[in-house]
Amino acid sequence: MSTKISLTRYLVEQQRIDGHIPAQLRLLLEVVARACKRISQAVNKGALGDVMGSAETENVQGEMQKKLDIIANEVLIEANEWGGHLAAMASEEMEGIYVVPNRYPQGEYLLLFDPLDGSSNIDVNVSIGTIFSVLRKPEGTGVSEQDFLQAGIKQVAAGYCVYGPQTTLVLTVGDGVAMFTLDREQGSFILTEENVRIPDDTKEFAINMSNMRHWDAPVKRYVDECLQGTEGPRAKDFNMRWIASMVADVHRILSRGGVFLYPWDKREPEKPGKLRLMYEANPMSWLIEQAGGAATNGKQRILDIQPSKLHERVSVILGSKNEVERATRYHNEA
């Protein structure tokens, strides 16, 4: 790429030339990117900063919080509360919504995030990330949790930032998927890939195999057939990857294809899955679809699910289209 296009320029052009995004949304995305830069710095400090280890507190999901979960959550809130572009925020780390304080102007957008995804990887120096989703606040005065309960199809922007060997911000505003790599010397995100496309077919799957005995029959069938390789019905050998950071697994899939499954299982039968719909599955599903892939809960398109609560969980199958369709078909046939 001869001329370097910064995230700022990309967004200005999305606003001015293509008319895809209003000014307030552009500001919002710039602020989220700035917050991700700060989180990236904290992640990079590792043991040199006071960022590793447990915070000894539990979040609303009953999970132990890491120090970085809390730091990342605070960075995102502080960065976003005063700009006038938001009405409220919601996060994996907060039970209720965070309404923009009265002393600041209220904007027309709602921001949801998983501030630090892949928490179990923080202390072992493996890729982690921030996932975000933007919705428009429904008309009317005030803002409530109900305003957030919109299907994924209503998102106006979604993305993630992966803190790995490189820090990469991946974004969609409904016009394909673009990737920006953080140039640390310049301090800015530079466009490094546009029109990201996922191949329809793949030989790579990602699932936590240790849960195999808890899976439902259609998931077992799908994975069994992959494992049989050239001798089985799929007539090809598959490879497996599982990073345990959804951001990193999804980033690999956007980069070279693959399929990711975190299905419902019998460990906690009353929960529909492990991953959260509104700030994990929805933004990732939209990115995957924008890149030509597919995302379902085994039965239905994730983006069509009407959420009934903020921290709702969901089964997730996403990635290369033909594999997602096959795994979904196995569920529907069962």
Contact positions vs ligand AHM (CB under 6 A): 63, 92, 114, 117-120, 208, 244-246, 262
Check binding of 114 to Mg ion (CB under 5 A).
yes
Check binding of 117 to Mg ion (CB under 5 A).
yes
Residue whose token pair is 């294809």? 257
Q: How far is the CB of 12 from ligand AHM (least distance, A)?
A: 32
Which is nearer to ligand AHM, 14 or 91 (by Cβ)? 91
Q: How far is the CB of 114 from Mg ion (least distance, A)?
A: 4
> Can you tell me the distance from the alpha carbon of 74 to that of 77, in angstroms, rounded to the nearest whole number?
5
Check binding of 93 to Mg ion (CB under 5 A).
no
Residue of closest CB approach to Mg ion: 117
Which is nearer to ligand AHM, 153 or 244 (by Cβ)? 244
Q: How far is the CB of 261 from Mg ion (least distance, A)?
A: 16
Which is nearer to ligand AHM, 7 or 261 (by Cβ)? 261
32 binds, among Mg ion, ligand AHM, none (CB under 5 to 8 A by kind): none
One DSSP character per residue, 28-69 reads HHHHHHHHHHHHHHHHHHGGGTTT-SEEEEE-TTSPEEEHHH
Q: How far is the CB of 209 from ligand AHM (least distance, A)?
A: 10
Amino acid occupying residue 133: S
What's the token pair of residue 55?
């915070």
293 binds, among Mg ion, ligand AHM, none (CB under 5 to 8 A by kind): none
Which is nearer to ligand AHM, 65 or 320 (by Cβ)? 65
Closest CA to 294 of 255, 323, 334, 268: 323
Q: Where are the alpha helices (DSSP H) in the chain?
A: 7-16, 23-45, 67-80, 145-148, 217-227, 246-256, 282-290, 321-333
CB atoms within 10 A of CB 173: 24
> Can you tell me the distance from the alpha carbon of 69 to that of 72, in angstroms, rounded to the nearest whole number?
5
Check binding of 249 to Mg ion (CB under 5 A).
no
Check binding of 30 to Mg ion (CB under 5 A).
no
The footprint of Mg ion on this chain (CB under 5 A) covers a number of residues equal to 2
> Can you tell me the distance from the alpha carbon of 226 to that of 239, in angstroms, rounded to the nearest whole number?
9
